[in-house]
Amino acid sequence: MNIRLAEPKDIKQLIRMRWDFTIEHDESKKIEQTSFEDFEKECQSFLENALNSSQWFIWVAEDNGKIVSHIYIELIQKVPRPGRTTHPFAYMTNVYTVKEYRNKGIGSKLLSTINKWAKENQYEFIIVWPSEDSINYYKKNGYVHCNEPMEYFPS
């Protein structure tokens, strides 16, 4: 199992995985009736921009050239504060492992690599909004619950 940062050659696999991830969790079955081609175009543009930025880091676990797990990290810059060095924090999203590779420690190995990377780069913390099913996964990898954030939804 090779764990590494995603490269442009991975975009097609990442697009398909994002589609599959969304379909897997779409209880209404409405998404699979939408256009994959439209989604593919939008996602391609996003991934090209993300991979060329210093804001996004897409980590993948690869088995013989096939991406079997990924975690997306977006760095959030903080406003400097007097009296201390300000470091960004990381927002973790789009955590996914292909079904037949689950419960084999791959996601934990990927997450452990990211935790080490965050520490080495002095990121202040990593935040993730886990699904109900993934809470134990994060807990066993050193994550703890924090106070709930507040939201505002503009209408």
What tens digit of pLDDT does each residue of 112-139 get? 999 999 999 999 999 999 988 899 999 9
- For strand 89-97 and strand 66-76, is the pairing parallel, antiparallel, or unpaired? antiparallel
Residue with tokens 């980590």: 59
Q: Is residue 144 situated within a structural domain?
A: no
Backbone angles phi, psi at 73, to 5 degrees: -125, 130
Query: Which stretches of the chain score pLDDT less than 50?
Result: none
pLDDT value at residue 123? 96
DSSP 56-118: EEEEEEEETTEEEEEEEEEEEPPPP-TTS----EEEEEEEEE-GGGTTSSHHHHHHHHHHHHH
Q: pTM for the whole thing? A: 0.91
Give the distance, in angstroms, between the CA of residue 25 and the centroid of all CA atoms in the same chain. 16
**Number of structural domains in the chain:** 1
Task: Give me the pLDDT at residue 153, please.
Answer: 86
Task: Specify the CATH number for the domain of residue 129.
Answer: 3.40.630.30
The answer to whether position 150 is within a domain reads no
Residue 147's pLDDT is what? Answer: 80
Rg (the chain; Cα; Å): 17
Domain extent for 76: 2-139
Query: Is 9 part of any domain?
Result: yes
Are 70 and 15 in contact, with CB atoms under 8 Å apart? no
Examine residue 69 and state whether it is found in any structural domain, yes or no: yes
Compute CA distances 101 → 44, 56, 61, whole Å: 25, 25, 10
Strand ranges inside 110-149, DSSP E: 126-127
Task: Kindly state whether residue 75 falls inside one of the protein's structural domains.
Answer: yes
